[in-house]
């Protein structure tokens, strides 16, 4: 346990006060290592595992530097002084939430910029003047091209999760953005690894940088306990998943596909275990609502794809479940990092079918995770221990009935009364159109009347005045009538 304090590291008093108000009194190792250099204005390359406290490690020096800079009143529309680049919307939002209390101590304005929503509010914020922009690369570049944002006044730039930006193919855009910032500005880059071109960014844009590597790139978290549960088949797997999801604490269930995440969240909710989903098919307002419901405790279960593997921080997530094991070990570590964050403890469960045993073993070996697989069912002691107290059953909300007729319009009140009358008289219900009119059957003939007889042309009146013959016309009669007509010149 280090005896270092934020004050001894040189953190200004207003920021220390804001940290204390948020319940943060002791710096983490990556903060202890990097803050003396970042606060002095040096470029820093920080390497640390997920959940190690990187966000505060760069938020503190950014706010400290710009808080003093604004004493001169240099805020200008569309020209921020600080920039943070993040790979995903969720991570950008999380950074803003962490940084904002510190920025408030100096009356700094922080805004978040990302795609998937209208740019109108983001443009309005830039025009009113902001000090720090936290952004994803795509939307930021778009606003720069439109002339709403200029980076010529940036004094400090942060790249967070640079390795993930490389995985997503953002490095060309990131390179353009960094070239638009002043050469003499301070730059901080945080990444778990330096592969996939991240090292090129370091060599091109960081100058006389200091490397701080608190943990090995893929080192597991000591307070995290890993389990591998082997089930006999899909039915047994489903029972184990439902049991693990039924506890009272917060838990995140990871799926490979958006469809399966949505399907499982609905199935759990229908089973009395309220759950929300998080994946790429949701709009940003839907993502925000679902994350808020999970973070505020309205639901205890979040079913997500890898979109939540980075940047989603919710306190006290006690269990992460890999319902579908990920494809590679880096995804496993980032998914698992949603629990046991900031020194807390947590459990990680990987559910494995017989056909997945070899793949899971290889995955864990690459992640440097040593765990003995256990064959379980829903009532195994190993499962029940992780479930703990069962949450109360929550009756699913009733779903609205689909409108009749299949076309989105409900049957008219008069048509409903007629149908009810026929049914009360023991008559076969008459098929109706969506407008409530009698429907024709597949033969194209009109429907039967109350006596079972079909309506024929005998019941129709001529629109030209005069009744038609009650005798049915034969094919021969029709032919004679056609041949008797006067020939018109051809």
Taken in order of first residue, the domains within the chain and their CATH numbers are: 13-213 (3.40.50.300), 224-387 (3.40.50.300)
Q: Does residue 378 sit in helix, strand or coil?
A: coil
Instruction: For residues 406 and 466, give the distance between their C-alpha atoms in angstroms, rounded to a whole number.
Output: 40
Phi, psi (5° rounding) for residue 142?
-60, -45
For 80-99, how does the pLDDT look when each residue is reduced to its tens digit (9 = 90+)? Answer: 999 999 998 888 998 999 99
State whether the Cα torsion 345-351-354-359 is positive or negative: negative
Kindly state the tokens that stand for 269: 């909710």
User: Quick one: which H or E segment has residue 278?
Assistant: strand 275-278
Give the pLDDT score at 385: 92
- The ranges of the chain with pLDDT < 50 are 71-72, 216-221, 406-411, 442-443, 450-490
Instruction: For residues 198 and 162, give the distance between their C-alpha atoms in angstroms, rounded to a whole number.
Output: 7
Length of the chain: 490
Kindly state the tokens that stand for 356: 């997945």
Give the pLDDT score at 284: 79
Phi, psi (5° rounding) for residue 186?
-80, 140
Query: In sequence order, which residues have a C-beta less than 8 Å from that of residue 354 and are 6 or more positions away?
Result: 230, 232, 233
Q: Write the DSSP symbol of residue 443.
A: T
* Residue where the block lists tokens 């917060």: 250
Instruction: For residues 389 and 191, give the distance between their C-alpha atoms in angstroms, rounded to a whole number.
Output: 38
Give the pLDDT score at 478: 44
Q: Write the DSSP symbol of residue 461.
A: B
Own/partner pairs for 168-173, CB < 8 Å, 24+ apart? 168/87, 170/87, 170/137, 170/138, 171/196, 171/197, 171/198, 171/200, 171/201, 173/137, 173/138, 173/141
Kindly state the tokens that stand for 29: 């190792």
Instruction: For residues 293 and 283, give the distance between their C-alpha atoms in angstroms, rounded to a whole number.
Output: 15
Query: In sequence order, which residues have a C-beta less than 8 Å from that of residue 303 and are 6 or more positions away?
Result: 252, 253, 255, 261, 262, 264, 265, 268, 275, 276, 277, 278
User: Quick one: which H or E segment has residue 309?
Assistant: none
- 348 and 224 Cβ atoms separated by less than 8 Å: yes
């Amino acid at each position: 346990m280090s005896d270092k304090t934020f004050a001894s590291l040189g953190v200004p008093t207003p920021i220390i006060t804001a940290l204390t108000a948020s319940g943060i009194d002791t710096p983490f190792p990556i903060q202890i290592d990097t803050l003396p250099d970042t606060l002095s204005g040096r470029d820093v390359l920080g390497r640390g595992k997920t959940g190690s406290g990187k966000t505060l490690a760069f938020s503190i020096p950014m706010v400290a530097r710009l808080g003093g800079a604004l004493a001169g009143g240099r805020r200008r529309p569309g020209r921020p002084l600080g920039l943070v680049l993040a790979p995903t919307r969720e991570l950008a939002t999380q950074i803003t939430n962490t940084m904002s209390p510190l920025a408030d101590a100096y009356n700094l304005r922080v805004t978040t910029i990302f795609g998937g929503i209208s740019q109108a509010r983001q443009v309005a914020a830039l025009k009113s003047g902001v000090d720090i922009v936290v952004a994803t690369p795509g939307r930021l570049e778009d606003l720069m091209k439109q002339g709403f944002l200029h980076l010529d006044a940036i004094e400090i730039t942060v790249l967070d999760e640079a390795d993930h930006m490389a995985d997503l193919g953002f490095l060309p855009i990131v390179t353009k953005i960094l070239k638009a910032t002043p050469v003499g500005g301070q730059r901080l880059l945080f990444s778990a690894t330096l592969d996939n071109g991240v090292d090129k960014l370091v060599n091109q844009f960081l100058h006389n940088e200091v490397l701080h590597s608190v943990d090995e790139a893929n080192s597991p978290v000591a307070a995290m306990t890993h389990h591998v549960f082997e089930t006999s088949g899909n039915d047994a797997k489903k029972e184990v998943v439902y049991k693990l999801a039924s506890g009272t604490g917060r838990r995140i269930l990871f799926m490979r596909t958006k469809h399966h995440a949505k399907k499982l969240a609905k199935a759990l909710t229908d089973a009395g275990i309220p759950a929300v989903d998080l994946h790429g098919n949701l709009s940003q307002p839907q993502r925000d609502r679902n994350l808020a419901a999970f973070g505020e405790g309205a639901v205890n279960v979040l079913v997500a794809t890898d979109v939540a593997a980075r940047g989603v921080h919710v306190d006290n997530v006690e269990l992460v479940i890999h319902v579908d094991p990920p494809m590679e070990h880096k995804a496993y570590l980032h998914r698992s990092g949603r629990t046991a964050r900031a020194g807390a403890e947590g459990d990680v469960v990987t559910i494995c079918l017989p056909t997945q045993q070899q793949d899971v073993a290889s995955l864990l070996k690459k992640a440097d995770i040593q765990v003995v697989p256990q064959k379980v069912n829903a009532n195994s002691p190993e499962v029940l221990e992780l479930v703990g107290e069962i949450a109360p059953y929550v009756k699913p909300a009733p779903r609205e009935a689909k409108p009749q007729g299949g076309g989105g319009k409900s049957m008219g009140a008069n048509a409903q009364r007629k149908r009810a009358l026929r049914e009360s008289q023991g008559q076969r219900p008459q098929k109706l159109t969506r407008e409530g009119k009698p429907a024709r059957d597949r033969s194209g003939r009109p429907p039967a009347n109350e006596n079972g007889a079909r309506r024929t042309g005998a019941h129709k009146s001529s629109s030209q005045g005069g009744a038609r013959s009650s005798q049915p016309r034969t094919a021969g009669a029709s032919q004679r009538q056609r041949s008797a007509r006067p020939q018109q010149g051809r």
